[in-house]
Amino acid sequence: MWWPGTLIGAGAGFAIASIPGAMLGALLGQALDRRLNLQGWAQVRERLGGRPALRNDELLFVLLGRLAKCDGRVVDGHIQQARQEMRALDLSESAQRRAIAAFNRGKSGNDHLRGYLRRLSTQPHAAEGVLRACWRMVWADGRAGPGERELIARWGKWLGWTQQQVQALAGEYEPQKLAPPSSGITYQEAMRLLGVSATSEPSQIKRAYRRLLSRHHPDKIAGSGATPLQVREATDKTRELHNAYRLIRERRDFR
């Protein structure tokens, strides 16, 4: 990919001083590209429009925000899912503020994301983590609309995934295909899985659940360089934690 500053510098240099000017302009433009982390024309447009370029840790939440708003209305399930992603990634307070701002920014739909996702495609584990988080957001309201599916398919293509690979991930988070909370796990087993007891306060149960979810979240595992098998095992563990927490919450009647 031609970096925009490099191309502009080379063109301007050539106009001023022919080939030597083009070479000098390209060098100066490349230095500007590196300093501003410009890797596409979309980022140049954002800079010229007074809109800061996305940091890597903000890109995910821009995507989640766009998916949440895709069908026209952000529901509570979308908000809760975004918060769960922040907890799972164990973000600092300042990083959480950036994530919230990025989520809101994503709802506007004004960001040009192709360049960012093309760059992320060189990091396979991170790319998979982004797509998994996107499907979790889609299913947060219990359904996946055609607009949401189209967005994820497009993003997956930019990340270097085939349409079949992207759609295969959807089934892992589709509510109808997940085992119901009471299937295959008892109340006592759910408590043992979370490390709590029948006398634990709801706040203690929530803390235990969030701690375990953060430890076993597939995105966090993938980011540490885990193998695909380890990521799949983490995904299964996360699903068990979700089911256990849901069962205990329904039995104890708390939110």
Q: Residue 148: its pLDDT value, please?
A: 93
Q: Residue 21: its pLDDT value, please?
A: 61
Q: Residue 60: its pLDDT value, please?
A: 93
Angle (nearest 5°) at CA 56 between 55 and 59: 85
- Integer Cα distance of 80 and 71 in angstroms: 17
- Supply 97's token pair: 């503020």
Q: Looking at the predicted structure, is the pLDDT value of residue 48 above 80?
A: no
- Integer Cα distance of 193 and 208 in angstroms: 10
Q: What is the mean pLDDT of residues 54-69?
A: 88
Closest CA to 148 of 59, 84, 72, 60: 72
Q: Residue 157: its pLDDT value, please?
A: 95
In this structure, whether the domain defined by 185-250 belongs to CATH 1.10.287.110 is answered with: yes
pLDDT digits (tens, 9 = 90+) for 150-200: 999 999 999 999 988 998 888 777 765 544 444 467 888 888 999 998 888
What secondary structure letter does DSSP report for 220?
H
Q: What is the mean pLDDT of residues 64-80?
A: 89
Q: Give the start-to-end residue ranges of the domains of the chain.
A: 2-46, 54-171, 185-250
Q: What is the DSSP string of 65-106?
A: HHHHHTTS---HHHHHHHHHHHHHTT--HHHHHHHHHHHHHH
Q: Residue 142: its pLDDT value, please?
A: 78
Q: What are phi and psi of 103, to 5 degrees?
A: -60, -45
Q: Looking at the predicted structure, is the pLDDT value of residue 243 above 90?
A: no
Between 214 and 34, the more confident residue is: 214
Q: Residue 182: its pLDDT value, please?
A: 43
pLDDT digits (tens, 9 = 90+) for 75-107: 888 998 898 888 878 788 898 999 999 999 999
